[in-house]
Amino acid sequence: MGVAILDVDGTLIDTNYQHALAWFRAFARHDVVLPVWRIHRHIGMGGDQLVKALAGEAAERELGDAIREDETGVYGKMIGEVRAMEGARELIVELGDRGHRVVIATSAKPEELEHYLEMLDARELADGWTSSKDVKATKPEPDLVQAALEKVGARPEDAVMVGDTPWDVEAAKRAGVGTIAVLTGGFAREELLDAGAIAVFESVAELRRELERTALG
């Protein structure tokens, strides 16, 4: 029996562009104006690292907590706009039917996680899930993947991650877990493969159709 660790933002739920816009607005409130495309390139990286990566150490030191708090508030007003990816719930069902334990892995706030679990109607389907309360350092650090493994008492060699950004792939790699990537986060196939993804599919719907020829088959 294997373990499927499923990323949420950009993989199961279509949120990446709302998050990019929320970060843009949060930075702008503090007179830090960044091109949205640059912000998008860092979506998937945790907020504890994103401010420094985009705006530098001084911005992190002086404004980091305030920007993160503003992003949470701005995104909270947009969360009603996000939708589950086509085939997301069906993938969870299929993985369970194949005997895999499924962990829904996110460093989102607990209230955001609850919203996503409700959208997916996944509380009875998943074997566990994570939130920001379970991690100290976010992607590309391995904490989230390690926390997901701990939820079901699994070893890295028994698990496969499904994610949508190079940050997902890197975090899983640091935890000793391979990643099947999807293109729904807005990153190119080549970028995901270069990061170390073991396979890339257009979407979770395509992944489900092709599951038999993957490590989760």
Pick the CATH number of 3-15+83-213 from 3.40.50.1000, 2.40.50.40, 3.40.50.11030, 3.90.1640.10: 3.40.50.1000
At residue 207, the 3 state secondary structure works out as helix
Nearest to 115 by CA among 159, 146, 78: 78
Q: By CB neighbour count within 10 A (0-12 exposed, 13-18 middle, 19+ buried), where does 89 fall?
A: middle
> What is the model's pLDDT at position 27?
98
- pLDDT at position 211: 96
Task: Give the pLDDT confidence score for residue 209 in this predicted structure.
Answer: 97
pLDDT at 1: 67
Question: Radius of gyration (Cα) for the chain, nearest Å?
Answer: 16
Confirm if 44 and 167 have CB atoms less than 8 A apart. Answer: yes
- Supply the pTM of this predicted model: 0.95
User: Length of the chain in residues, anyone?
Assistant: 217
Query: What local confidence, expressed as pLDDT, does residue 84 receive?
Result: 98
Q: Is the Cβ–Cβ distance between 144 and 125 less than 8 Å?
A: no
Cα separation of 147 and 136, whole Å?
Answer: 10
Q: Give the residue from 44, 43, 123 showing the smallest Cα distance to 89.
A: 123
Residuewise pLDDT in 10s, the chain (217 residues)? 699 999 999 999 999 999 999 999 999 999 999 999 999 999 999 999 999 999 999 999 999 999 999 999 999 999 999 999 999 999 999 999 999 999 999 999 999 999 999 999 999 999 999 999 999 999 999 999 999 999 999 999 999 999 999 999 999 999 999 999 999 999 999 999 999 999 999 999 999 999 999 999 9
CATH code reported for the domain at 16-80: 1.10.150
In whole angstroms, what is the distance from residue 175 CA to residue 171 CA?
6
Whole-number pLDDT of residue 175:
98
Which tens digit of pLDDT belongs to each residue from 91-142?
999 999 999 999 999 999 999 999 999 999 999 999 999 999 999 999 999 9
Contacts from 165-168 at CB under 8 Å and sequence distance 24+? 165/10, 165/16, 165/43, 165/44, 165/45, 165/139, 165/192, 166/44, 166/140, 166/191, 166/192, 166/194, 166/195, 167/42, 167/44, 167/45, 167/139, 167/140, 168/7, 168/11, 168/44, 168/139
Q: Look up residue 12 and give its amino acid.
A: L
Going by the DSSP 8-state scheme, the letter that residue 132 receives in this structure is: G
Structural domain spans, the chain: 3-15+83-213, 16-80
Give the pair of three-digit tokens for residue 110.
Answer: 């607990």
Q: How confident is the model at residue 204, as a pLDDT?
A: 98
Q: Break the chain down into helix, strand, coil percent, rounded to 5.
A: 55, 15, 30
